[in-house]
Amino acid sequence: MRKRFYEAFTLVEMLIVMGILIILMVIGITAGRFAINRANDVAHQNAVDQIYQGLQAYYTDNRVFPGDVCGLAGNEACTVAELIGTTDTPGLLGEYLDQGAFNGGTSATYHYFVEEGAQQSVLVCVTLGGVTGDATLRAVYCNGNGFGVEDLISGITVSTKSMDDITTDGTPGAAIVALTGSDWDGETWQ
């Protein structure tokens, strides 16, 4: 008598294949999330670099960086939101930046620091990973010519563009996070 052989997958084989597929999906989702975070960080860094280039053009024309007043009544100090403005109301750097091209990335907090008095040193910084106070805040990126200037930012000498190692209370960028900044929600200033 002839035995009949079934040619099909067993339950164990199916479970092994499903396990492999689940592992591959987890790896793919993790890699995708990393790529999205990295793209957001690059967008924020590019925005900071663009603002600093506008500040350099402003400096070329005026021989000082914007300081205590950005030309808007009632403000005590310039903020990035006032420097950039909106598409309807350009800020102080309006003539130096293409307003429609500015993209601040996803939500973040931008900071502007200028040396008091001489107004010859400046830093523009952005929080990476969310706005000031978010639990997702990972680091702070800065650009400018104020690196190494003492007391430009709250008594701290900034010596690197990526400030994830500069802390005052164990959190990334705590020196900057403690100060007031301009919150960008992904489309407009808040």
Q: What is the per-residue DSSP string for 95-128?
A: TTS-GGG----SSEEEEEEE-TTT---EEEEEEE
Compute the distance between CA of residue 186 and CA of residue 58 in angstroms, rounded to an integer. 25
* 107 band by pLDDT with thresholds 50, 70 and 90: confident
Amino acid at 128: L
* Model pLDDT, residue 129: 78
**Segment (H or E) for 140:** strand 139-144
pTM: 0.76
Residue 114: which of 59, 42, 49 has the closest Cα?
59
Does a structural domain hold residue 128? Answer: yes
Between residues 111 and 19, the one the model is more confident about: 19
What is residue 25's predicted lDDT score, i.e. its pLDDT? 97
* Residue 189 three-state SS: strand
Indicate the pLDDT class of residue 99, thresholds 50, 70 and 90.
low
Q: Is the pLDDT of residue 75 over 80?
A: no
**Residue 126 belongs to domain spanning:** 11-56+103-184
Q: What is the pLDDT of residues 17-46, one digit of tens each?
A: 999 999 999 999 999 999 998 898 888 889
User: How many domains does the chain fold into?
Assistant: 1
Using 50, 70 and 90 to split pLDDT, how confident is the model at 128? confident
Please tell me what DSSP assigns to residue 3: P
pLDDT at 72 exceeding the cut of 50: no
Q: Tell me the helices (H) and strands (E) count for the chain, helix number first.
A: 3, 4
Locus of tokens 């040193």: 121
Of the listed ranges 11-20, 80-89, 91-100, 149-158, the one predicted with least confidence: 149-158
pLDDT at 78 over 90: no
Question: 110 in a domain, yes or no?
Answer: yes
In a domain, 177, yes or no: yes
Q: pLDDT band at residue 179, thresholds of 50, 70 and 90?
A: low
Could you tell me if residue 155 is inside a domain? Answer: yes
Calculate mean pLDDT across residues 9-18: 92
Q: Which residues contact 137 (CB under 8 A, 6 or more apart)?
A: 127, 128, 129, 130, 131, 171, 172, 173, 177
Strand partners, 112: 124
User: Is 172 in contact with 107 (CB distance < 8 Å)?
Assistant: no
